[in-house]
Amino acid sequence: MLAGIGKVESDHGRARLPGVRSGWNHAGAAGPMQFGIGVGRAGNAWARFGRDDDHDGHTSVYDPGDAIPAAARYLCDAGAPHHLDAALYAYNPSTSYVALVKRWAARYRGGGQR
């Protein structure tokens, strides 16, 4: 699921959209996993879930080593793995988003196209 989120949110950090590598997007989300950082309607999930998980001395929403584990914590807090659809919906409240992330996750599990 984390790979699916990374793909949908920012093409695994490769997208050149606002907020992926610096700043934030129109909703106030930032980084490869597009966490809310407190400047828009996305809220500030990063304040609660962001940590220096790669132990490089910096906590950064733009660092996949910090952002991916933070996304995992967020999903678990929102009910994953037992209530996965609800957790994905909490991450981004759109039924089409939930379906798209799940499709990408299934492709990754099956070794399909990336």
The domain in which residue 88 lies consists of 2-109
- Which pLDDT score is estimated for 101? 98
C-alpha to C-alpha distance for 91 and 36, rounded to whole angstroms: 10
Q: How many domains does the chain divide into?
A: 1
Q: What is the three-class DSSP state of 36?
A: strand
pLDDT under 70: residue ranges of the chain: 111-114
Q: For residue 37, with 0-12 CB atoms within 10 Å meaning exposed, 13-18 middle and 19 or more buried, which class applies?
A: buried
* Neighbouring C-beta atoms of residue 91, cutoff 10 Å: 24
* Neighbouring C-beta atoms of residue 100, cutoff 10 Å: 17
C-alpha to C-alpha distance for 96 and 99, rounded to whole angstroms: 5
- Which pLDDT score is estimated for 114? 52
19 found inside a domain = yes
pTM beyond 0.85: the answer is yes
Beta bridge partners of 29: 36
Terminal Cα-to-Cα distance of the chain (whole angstroms): 14
- Which pLDDT score is estimated for 107? 96
Q: What is the three-class DSSP state of 30?
A: strand
114 found inside a domain = no
